[in-house]
Amino acid sequence: MNRLRVHDVRAAFFAVDQRLDAWAERHRPLLRLIGSTLAFAMLVAGVALHVQRSGFAHGTAAACGAPCPADIRFEYLIALMCGAAAILWVKVYVAVAAAIQRRLIDPFQYVRPEPKPLKVARWVLVGHVPIGVVLFFAIAGFGQETPGRSAISIEGWSSVALIFGWWIGGAGVLQFFWSRARQQIPSQP
């Protein structure tokens, strides 16, 4: 009797899973759009949060001097511009990594003409993580130079910004640009 219940539960989960898969397949373009939009928003917000919390925005506004307004809104603008610059940084990283992949790895991995996979290569993702850590410490280091800061650290909100902004959001943005870069590669070597 117990086995019958377990079998019924498994069958019910399988049926629900199949329905969800069918629904997701019908709505795949919309789900990709939502996922990419969230990834871009997470990257911009994560970097902007870290720039604001670390003191980088304040230090940059102070270094600008008289031409820049001495207003907190200007610091928020600097933080958002740094978040937007992170998107450009990821795009440049993808361009360089895709060129390396195309020239050094693809000729040995794909000897026959075939479509290249659109999924991000593991080495590209692995390289993306330490770049983010170095950038976040560099931002914190520059923010330390402002008065009232005493130590370089990525704690509290900065670690949340690093994890959700750079690692999760940045990986989504990386996937977005990577798939477009790989689609532009001709299938003939």
Tell me the pLDDT tens digit for each residue of 27-56.
888 888 888 999 999 999 998 988 888 888
23 is a domain residue? no
pLDDT of the residue at 177: 93
Question: Does residue 84 fall inside a structural domain?
Answer: yes
Rounded distance between C-alpha atoms, residue 139 and residue 62, angstroms: 15
Tens-digit pLDDT profile for residues 101-118? 888 877 776 666 666 677
In a domain, 12, yes or no: no
Tokens 């506004």, residue located: 61
User: What global pTM score does this model have?
Assistant: 0.75
Inside any domain, residue 140: yes
Confirm whether 18 is domain-assigned.
Answer: no
Give dist(CA 48, CA 77) in Å, integer: 9
Please give the pLDDT value at position 109: 67
Query: Residue 135: what pLDDT?
Result: 84
When computed from its CA atoms, the radius of gyration of the chain, rounded to whole angstroms, is 22
Work out how many domains the chain is built from and give that number: 1
What pLDDT score does 189 carry?
Answer: 44
Reported residue count of the chain is 189
Residues of the chain with pLDDT under 50: 1, 188-189
Decide: 103 and 189 in contact? Cβ < 8 Å. Answer: no
Could you tell me if residue 92 is inside a domain? yes
Residue 43: its pLDDT value, please?
92
Domain that holds residue 179: 36-183
Specify the pLDDT at position 155: 64
The predicted structure's pLDDT at residue 176: 93
